[in-house]
Amino acid sequence: MRETEKLYKLQKLDRRHTGREQFSHYITPKNKLAFLELRNWCWAQFGPGMERDWAIDLGNGQYNVSRWAWDTEFKHMRIYFTGDAELTSFLLRWA
């Protein structure tokens, strides 16, 4: 892979997106291996994550939801971040 190629695309969530109340951004890795590498990094950096839909369902105070989540439903490969601190940490490492 060339130095200038990114492993992912970044998307800011807006009212069209599921999970916009819990998450600010998501990234879409360019392939399955990149998804696994980036998800493993998030797990090591931020602690355990969970499926996005679980985080949405449990995010009402029943459970301390992680700072990140992922979505693989319908062949998606997305990693979600709860806020700017998580996104900044990610971008500092992977941008």
Look at residue 49 and tell me if it is in a domain.
yes
Class of residue 51 by CB neighbours under 10 A (exposed 0-12, middle 13-18, buried 19+): middle
Band the pLDDT of 19: cuts 50, 70, 90. Answer: confident
Look at residue 19 and tell me if it is in a domain.
yes
Look at residue 3 and tell me if it is in a domain.
no
Asked whether the predicted pLDDT for residue 50 surpasses 80, the reply is yes
The candidate with the shortest Cα–Cα distance to 45, out of 10, 82, 12, 72, is 82
Look at residue 82 and tell me if it is in a domain.
yes
pLDDT greater at residue 65 or residue 90: 90
Q: What is the pLDDT of residue 54?
A: 86
- Residue 45 structural domain: 8-94
Residue-wise pLDDT for 58-72, tens only, equals 766 666 667 899 999
Asked whether the predicted pLDDT for residue 93 surpasses 90, the reply is yes
Domain count, the chain: 1
pTM for the predicted model, two decimal places: 0.86
Look at residue 1 and tell me if it is in a domain.
no
Q: What is the pLDDT of residue 5?
A: 66
The residue type found at 71 is D
CB 66 within 8 A of CB 86: no
